[in-house]
Amino acid sequence: MTFKPVPAAVTPDNSMGDAFITTRVDAVINWGRRNSLWPFPFGTACCAIEFMGVVSSMFDISRFGAELVRFSPRQADLIIIAGTVTYKQAPVLRRIYEQMCEPKWVISAGACATSGGFYDCYCTVPGIDEIIPVDIYIAGCPPRPEAFLEAIVQLQNKIERENRVEQKAVGA
């Protein structure tokens, strides 16, 4: 994000000076969105405990603006699926994803959410991208808290590259 102070030459009377900054609409919107992600922790298994460690003060996800965990999908814009998703849980995950409002992002945390992990059996969904679209995948079983933070940073970089102008419809 670039902040460009107004040069003195543009405002000849110099009365405004540095009071204005010019940038693109995209940059401001993306800056706002990525630094205030409100995660919905869809924690099912062990990765949820590591996510609790990320939220706690040692690793502190609030440094990245993502402190406000909201347990209602209507109020969240980032869903973090931490843990194994079984076929019994799949309609629940789908419904929660549908209830989230745009813009929304998905992080699939851990091996089980990404690919089913080492539970290659009759009840486990082999990767939640069978059910919902995923933005960032985190590997690990469970991933270290630093990996969660790296994923948040990568998601923030991804959001920074979004382009509002090309996405036409409301909700797109």
Partner 1 sequence: MTSVGGVPYHSSKNDIVDTAKPWMREAMKPGLTDEQLVSALQLFGLRRDTKDRWNLTLVLAAGDARSKLRDLVSFLRDDQSLRMNTLLDISAIDYLSYPNHRGPRFALVYLFKSLEFRHRVMIKVEVEEDDARLPSIHDLYRIADWTEREVWDQMGIVFTGHPNLKRILNHHEFVGHPLRKDYPCQKRQKLSINDPMVDQLEARLRELGYTVVESGEVHLGKPIAAKHQSAAEQGQVDRPRAKSEGAIGAGGL
Partner 2 sequence: MKVLTRANEPQDLMTVNIGPSHPATHGTLRIFAALDGETIEAAACEMGYLHRGFEKMVEQGTYTMVLPYTDRLNYCSAMINNIGFCKAVEKMFNVTVPERCITLRVVLMELSRIIDHMVCVCTNLVDLGALTNFWYFFNTREEVYKIWEKLCGQRLTNTVTRIGGMYRDAYVGFEDDVRKVLTRIEASVAEVRGLVEHNKIFIDRTKDVCVVSAAEAISYGWTGPCLRASGVDRDLRKDEPYYGYETYQFDTVVGTTGDTFDRIMIRMYEILESVSICRQGLDRLKPGPVNTADARLSLPDRDHVYHDMEALINSFKLIYEGVRPPPGECYDAVEAANGELGFHIVSDGGTNPYRIKVRPPCFTQYAAFGGMLEGEMLADAAATLGSINIIAGELDR
**Is 60 near partner 1 (CB under 8 A)?**
no
Q: What span, in angstroms and rounded, lies between the C-alpha atoms of 68 and 61?
A: 9
**Is 161 near partner 2 (CB under 8 A)?**
no
**Is 96 near partner 2 (CB under 8 A)?**
yes
Largest CA distance in the chain: 74
Compute the least distance from the CB of residue 125 to partner 2, in Å.
11
Residues 84, 153 contacting (CB under 8 angstroms): no
Q: What span, in angstroms and rounded, lies between the C-alpha atoms of 45 and 153?
A: 23
Structure tokens, 71 = 């347990």
Q: What span, in angstroms and rounded, lies between the C-alpha atoms of 64 and 157?
A: 12
Write each residue from 123 to 152 as x if it is in contact with partner 1 (CB under 8 A), else as -, in one continuous string.
xx-x---xxxx-x-----------------
Which secondary-structure segment (H or E) carries 5? strand 4-5
Residue 105 has φ and ψ, to the nearest 5°, of -130, 160
Write each residue from 54 to 73 as x if it is in contact with partner 2 (CB under 8 A), else as -, in one continuous string.
--xxx------------x--
Where along the sequence are the contacts to partner 1 (CB under 8 A)?
A: 86-88, 90-92, 94-95, 97-98, 102-105, 120-124, 126, 130-133, 135, 158-159, 162, 166-169, 171-172
Where along the sequence are the contacts to partner 2 (CB under 8 A)?
A: 42-46, 48-50, 52-53, 56-58, 71, 83-84, 86, 88-89, 92-93, 96, 112, 118-124, 141-142, 144
